[in-house]
Amino acid sequence: MRRVAVFGATGSIGASTLDVIARHPDRFRATALTANDKVDELVALCVRHRPDIAVVADASRYAALRDALAGAGLHTEARAGSEALVELAGSDACDTVVAAIVGAAGLPSTLAAARAGKRLLLANKEAIVVAGALLVEAVAANGAELLPIDSEHNAIFQCLPGPAIHGAARPGVRRIVLTASGGPFRGRTRAQLAEVSPDEACAHPKWRMGRKISVDSATLMNKGLEVIEAHWLFGAAADAIDVVVHPQSIVHSLVEYADGSMLAQLGNPDMRTALAYGLAWPDRIDAGVAPLDLAALARLDFEAPDRAAFPCLDLAYRALREGGGAATVLNAANEVAVSAFLQGRLGFLGIATVLAAALDALHGARADSLDALLALDAEARRVATTLLRSP
Ligand code: NAD
Ligand code: MG
């Protein structure tokens, strides 16, 4: 029986995870659930899944959580605060951690799970973008199992040979090809993007996701973050990672081999496939996902990304090539810029402008420990916030 802690249980990935767990009560039990501050939603999940522990990251919500759990007649223990998240990730309450908090806020608990040698299902891509070297080293040093949940990386994981040795280049692999849906604004020119609204940006054609990743999909920064994520997970250099737009989101990514073969993983766009694979690996279990009907699909299309209209993709390649702390800066500035866009304080095109200026301002920054990375993250947020005021 796997004992699973779901970090970010109230989110989109959290819901998909709990759906797969509930289909296999003989294999999995959700022993801990966490949320940022939405006590009502967290308690509703506790009523359904009966975990031992519930954690709310916002420490001021502790009493509300404790009282609501008691009021619902549950024996679930209430905990609160960011330290409680870190403690839970490394504790005996779980052997498997689903890292599905959004943003760099998920880094400390994700790293703690790796350091404690857990099976780590990584959806929280920002954690590996911010702290790739540290995370991959912690996984190797402590015998953790790092299973990529991002659909593209899960696909690549399924298409690579042999056991997963994270960060090590595979012999015979020539190139990794990440597919991108292109987001809701595929086909638009730069000029046509100036006035788009947050709700338009969040109306993704193929995936239902949280608002932050939805905006990232609209700017193509999501694919940029995924390029950096692929570098750390699969030991591929920037030149060996490509992006192709595939609007149907059926081919989740591909691996090209030296002999000219390309292997791809296909499936309906539903994150439960990746989560079921990560939870049961190396077994295959029912995920509740309908099989593909290829004849009904009839065709699959591929095109090159429009790098001029969506400059965030190349900003991510730039940060990856620069190395050092550049990816940490890029991610922090992006979190600030996306939040400002969602609140109506920054235009869509301003996102890339802020990112480029933040990379310039903090060029050459380095950070090798968790504390140093968090300090650089904070510094980059300050710089980006200043840039918002003086575009
Ligand atoms: P979401 O916004 O739906 O959920 C985010 C979760 O994180 C919520 O449970 C929220 O309570 C929690 N959270 C937010 N801020 C927090 C904080 N400061 N401290 C602690 N907890 C906090 O997001 P999502 O779409 O489920 O995405 C989660 C992660 O998975 C992101 O990193 C995203 O890039 C990645 N991901 C998501 C999808 C998808 O289909 N949704 C696909 C691939 C990767
Ligand atoms: Mg993805």
Report residue 208's pLDDT band, with 50, 70 and 90 as the boundaries: confident
CATH code: domain of residue 79: 3.40.50.720
Q: 62 lies in a domain?
A: yes
φ/ψ bin of 249: left (φ > 0), alpha (ψ from -120 to 50), beta (otherwise): left
* Percent above pLDDT 70 for the chain: 98
Ion ligand 2 residue ranges (Cβ < 5 Å): 150-152
Closest-approaching ligand to the CA atom of 14: 1
Angle in degrees, CA 216, 166, 88, rounded to 5: 70
90 known member of a binding site:
no
Closest listed residue to residue 39, CA positions, set 75, 69, 73, 7 = 69
pLDDT at residue 150, as a whole number: 98
379 known member of a binding site:
no
φ and ψ at residue 163, rounded to 5 degrees:
-70, 155
φ/ψ bin of 266: left (φ > 0), alpha (ψ from -120 to 50), beta (otherwise): beta
Q: What digits encode the pLDDT tens for the residues 39-54?
A: 999 999 999 999 999 9
pLDDT at residue 171, as a whole number: 84
pLDDT at residue 54, as a whole number: 98
Q: 12 lies in a domain?
A: yes
Q: What digits encode the pLDDT tens for the residues 145-158?
A: 999 999 999 999 99
Tell me which residue range forms the domain holding 18: 2-148
From atom 22 of ligand 1, which residue's Cα is the shortest distance away?
A: 36
Query: Hey, how many other C-beta atoms are within 10 angstroms of the C-beta on 312?
Result: 23
Q: How many domains does the chain have?
A: 1
Ligand 1 neighbours (beta carbon < 6 A) = 8-14, 35-36, 57, 100-102, 105, 123-126, 150, 207, 209-210, 213, 271
From atom 32 of ligand 1, which residue's Cα is the shortest distance away?
A: 124
Find residue 55's DSSP bridge partners.
Answer: 34, 79
Cα-to-centroid distance, 21 and ligand 1 (Å): 18
Cα-to-centroid distance, 179 and ligand 2 (Å): 9
364 known member of a binding site:
no
12 known member of a binding site:
yes
Q: Contact 147/173 with Cβ under 8 angstroms?
A: no
- Mean of pLDDT values over 70-94: 98
Q: 220 lies in a domain?
A: no
Atom of ligand 1 nearest to the CA of 150: 43
Q: 364 lies in a domain?
A: no
Q: 301 lies in a domain?
A: no
Q: 329 lies in a domain?
A: no
The helix/strand count (H/E) of the chain reads as 17, 11
